[in-house]
Structure 1
Amino acid sequence: MTNGLWTTSVGSFPKPPELLAARTEHAAGRLSDDDLSALERRATEDWIRFQESIGVDILVDGEMYRGDMATYFAEELEGFAIGGIVRAYGNRYYRKPIAVASVRRTHPITVEMWRYAQSLTDKPVKGMLTGPYTIADWSFDEHYGSRREFVLDLAHAIHDEAMDLAAAGARFVQIDEPAASTRMEELPLVAEAMGIVTDGLPAYAITHICYGDFMRAYPTMLDIPVDQIDLELTNSDFELLGRFREIPFTKHVGLGVSDVHSHRVEAVDEVVRGIKLALEVLPPESIFVDPDCGLKTRTVDEAQAKMRVISDAVAKVRDELGIGSALPDVGPTPGRNAGVPVAVASNATETEPALP
């Protein structure tokens, strides 16, 4: 039996109201670190139990202990100061990191919470990291002057964290790069930095990309040295899948099938349609099914409903096509360094400008 169409989530889930209130109290100095940590762990366990209850194959901890995905890491890395509040998009704001000295990692950042989440389940829990390019892109640089040098120093720091997660037992490590497809001329820098992050990494490596123009970023994104590229596809009605007919996708794909920017919960048959569109161009053993992006901006009820629909849709397609759910032994795949197909790369006529 062929196995495939494994279910997972991109990473973040919404924090329950009591944890949001506790974070406010903690920021004001009215709640201790230990009390906040206890609430974060309780919320983490609740999300682990929920994912198990609906049959998700590869779990996430939900990032109950994190705020902004870039600032969280900058706060833990040497060389950063944290600036004032800036708008990310809509009515979402974050404190923008500032590189004020050479960036380096001095201690593990996510390993303890990954260990805790993994201790709660026999199913694999993904290690979740923010990629070096995105951290740099969402920060001010008052030290380097060279964007490439800034990104590559961050890559070494994130590599060390990824290796520690793998040493702790993480079978899947995801390095989120939502900024990767926003500047087409910098995709080679994204790939160079990711090559540092995944160098020697024994775990299965994933990168998540959202925003940007995927039609322009493809096939260059295939040069990013990971085993799986997780893509936001629902918003574009799966348009990118048509490009896979012209230029083969050389890696596993994270198939985003639920719009995280909408309060509307998709019908099961809508998600089934997206999965079947992917199966027209990709084998089931290369497809991992998840929402378009992290679900932290939805309510708890909305996020749970969207995840249930994904699980139900995958179960329906598996039953219809006789696809099993057994997870393979994972680690580096041939696709990690496959890159753009040679025939396509050799026919390329455009060159990208050099980076400083």
Structure 2
Amino acid sequence: MVWIMSIPTEPIGSIPRTRSLRVALDEHAAGRLSAADLTTLQEQATAETLATLEQLGCPVLVDGEQSKPSFVTYPVAGLTNLDPDGAVIPFADGHTRQLPRLASGPFRYRTRAETFVRDARRHTDRPLKQAVIAPSALSLLYPSDPIAGYSREEFLRDLADEAEADIRGCLEAGAHRVQLDFTEGRLSLKLDPSGGLLDDFVALNNTVLERFSEAERDRLGVHTCPGGDHDSTHSLDVDYAGLLPKLFGLAVGNFYVQLAGEPDPERVLRIITDQLRPGIRVFVGVTDPIDPRVETPEEVRDRVLLAARYIPVEQLGTCDDCGFSPFADDTSTSRELSFAKIGARVRGTELASRALGL
């Protein structure tokens, strides 16, 4: 069943990989499965994901990042000029994720997200959204000590060019929306409470975004959350008040803001109200991927109606707080639970639209 709604609703990106795909990834890493066989299973998982989202009535689909190793490393996976000992990101439950480190220049993407758009398009004619990693996140790959013969300034110029090409390729491949994942924005205030690092991140991202026309930026968005992984976060304890005013300085037409998992959603909505400007849309999170309980459509409806008290309905949308499995090896949330929450988001948003007389 396809729901027709006045308030738009979109997923964020990742969905837990199918069981067969998780097994295949382990087999491939151990050298017991060919790259071609892995690709076949990734394509099958993508087709299954798209079909399920369509059955749930989602007006905008995603491939669930079934072919990505993670939301952040997909452009650089397989590069030979990386070392594994890069920046470490600690999570509240004690586990960590470690980024690779650029060992030599020049910096180039090995995989562009447009390939995922084109692969998904073979399985559906519905509007497709593609998440890409923000250049600010990849700027963390450059080490603190300069690379001989390849300065940080050269790296940032190359990074901006690569990020532009990544986004532009998705638009040209027909993506309905291209969303920059910017989870490092909130984290930056933990790393540098002065806000200087966040200012650098915003400036770098805008260096790329300002290369696009106004019409193109209407199809671009940015997502912020406190980084969900293994049912934990890296920056939920960082006050949104320090991030949101600078986040809304990014040159995009759409903002996807984690809200359902916030301890005081109404306070966040008041901050958002102060940042609203004409021509943008704010998608508020109405389902929490970390919460194992499935929200009811009525609960989602009430969250949307609360948001509509602060955000004009013509500028309001809904989303999930975060991706459900940003890293391929994260099995803390099942596919079944993820799809149930997505279904509640779609139905609850429709209920809210009706309650508002739309």
> Does TM, scored on the shorter chain, surpass 0.5?
yes
Flag the 1:232–1:119 CA change in 2: closer, same or farther, 3 A: same
Corresponding position of 1:114 = 117
Corresponding position of 1:213 = 239
**Secondary structure in 2 matching 1:208:** strand
Aligned alpha-carbon RMSD (Å): 2.7
TM-score when normalising by structure 1: 0.81
Q: Is the 8 A contact 1:77 1:103 kept in 2?
A: no
CA–CA distance in structure 1, aligned partners of residues 121 and 90 of structure 2: 31
Shift of 1:162: 0.9
Deviation larger for 57-66 or 88-97 = 88-97
Shift of 1:78: 7.5
Answer yes or no: is 1:186 the counterpart of 2:215: no
Corresponding position of 1:328 = none
**Secondary structure in 1 matching 2:67:** coil
Q: Is the 8 A contact 1:85 1:95 kept in 2?
A: yes
Corresponding position of 1:200 = 212
**Secondary structure in 1 matching 2:221:** strand
1:1-356 to 2 correspondence within 5 Å?
4-75=6-77, 79-83=81-85, 88-89=90-91, 90=93, 94-105=97-108, 108-137=111-140, 140-143=143-146, 150-151=155-156, 153-182=158-187, 183=189, 184-198=195-209, 199-200=211-212, 202=216, 204-211=219-226, 212-236=238-262, 237-238=264-265, 239-248=267-276, 251-296=280-325, 297-323=332-358
Shift of 1:177: 0.8
What is the one-letter code of the residue matched to 1:313? G
CA–CA distance in structure 2, aligned partners of residues 96 and 191 of structure 1: 20
What is the one-letter code of the residue matched to 2:257? L
Shift of 1:141: 4.7
Flag the 1:38–1:91 CA change in 2: closer, same or farther, 3 A: farther
Flag the 1:175–1:103 CA change in 2: closer, same or farther, 3 A: farther
Flag the 1:92–1:116 CA change in 2: closer, same or farther, 3 A: farther
Flag the 1:14–1:58 CA change in 2: closer, same or farther, 3 A: same
Q: Is the 8 A contact 1:159 1:196 kept in 2?
A: no
In the comparison of the two structures, how many residue pairs are matched? 322
What is the one-letter code of the residue matched to 2:356? L
What is the one-letter code of the residue matched to 1:125? L
Runs of at least 4 residues off by over 6 Å: 145-149
**Secondary structure in 2 matching 1:256:** strand
Shift of 1:283: 2.3
**Secondary structure in 1 matching 2:105:** strand
Q: Unaligned regions of 5+ residues in structure 2, if any?
A: 190-194, 227-237, 326-331
Flag the 1:82–1:264 CA change in 2: closer, same or farther, 3 A: same
Corresponding position of 1:346 = none
Shift of 1:88: 4.9
CA–CA distance in structure 2, aligned partners of residues 270 and 148 of structure 1: 48
Shift of 1:50: 1.1
CA–CA distance in structure 1, aligned partners of residues 198 and 256 of structure 2: 16
CA–CA distance in structure 2, aligned partners of residues 93 and 19 of structure 1: 24
What is the one-letter code of the residue matched to 2:101? I
CA–CA distance in structure 2, aligned partners of residues 138 and 232 of structure 1: 26
What is the one-letter code of the residue matched to 1:10? I
What is the one-letter code of the residue matched to 2:82? F
**CA offsets 1:36-81 (integer angstroms, 9 cap, x no match):** 1111111111111111111112111100111232222222667533
CA–CA distance in structure 1, aligned partners of residues 295 and 78 of structure 2: 38
**CA offsets 1:148-176 (integer angstroms, 9 cap, x no match):** 76555423211111111112222311111
What is the one-letter code of the residue matched to 1:274? R
**Secondary structure in 1 matching 2:292:** coil
What is the one-letter code of the residue matched to 2:31? G
Q: Is the 8 A contact 1:25 1:31 kept in 2?
A: yes
Q: Is the 8 A contact 1:75 1:81 kept in 2?
A: no
Identity of aligned residues (%): 26
Deviation larger for 107-116 or 52-61 = 107-116
**Structure with greater proportional strand content:** 1
Flag the 1:140–1:235 CA change in 2: closer, same or farther, 3 A: farther
